[in-house]
Amino acid sequence: MSHAVHFQAQSVMTCQQQSQQGVCKERLEKAHPSQSKTRVQRVLNMIARVHHNWRTRSQLAKLDDAALKDIGVMRSDAYNELHKPLWK
């Protein structure tokens, strides 16, 4: 193991011990920046999904029976879709 890798691993272990006390969070983020970016990306994806579901379900709710028939959706299917949680 190279000296730099050993030092980083030792630093992370010390930091993990200190992070239990809330002391060293920023050093952990520097050691593993992809984890915090991944979390941010997951949150942004969830927000985008909720917005998309809200928008499309709002449009679906406005359709009358004839429009639903045109797109091949039964009123009961539309009702079920409209009553799902937005994150699904």
The phi and psi torsions of 58 (rounded to 5 degrees) equal -65, -40
Same domain membership, residue 54 and residue 22: no
Domain tally, the chain: 2
Exposure of 37 by Cβ count < 10 A (0-12 exposed, 13-18 middle, 19+ buried)? exposed
Give yes or no for residue 4 having a pLDDT over 50: no
* Helices H / strands E in the chain, number of each: 5, 0
Give yes or no for residue 32 having a pLDDT over 90: no
Same domain membership, residue 77 and residue 52: yes
- Domain that residue 36 falls in: 32-88
Question: Which residue, chain included where needed, has tokens 């030792």?
Answer: 10
Same domain membership, residue 44 and residue 23: no
pLDDT in tens, 48-86: 999 999 999 999 999 999 999 999 999 999 999 999 988
Q: What's this model's pTM, rounded to 2 decimal places?
A: 0.53
Same domain membership, residue 80 and residue 54: yes
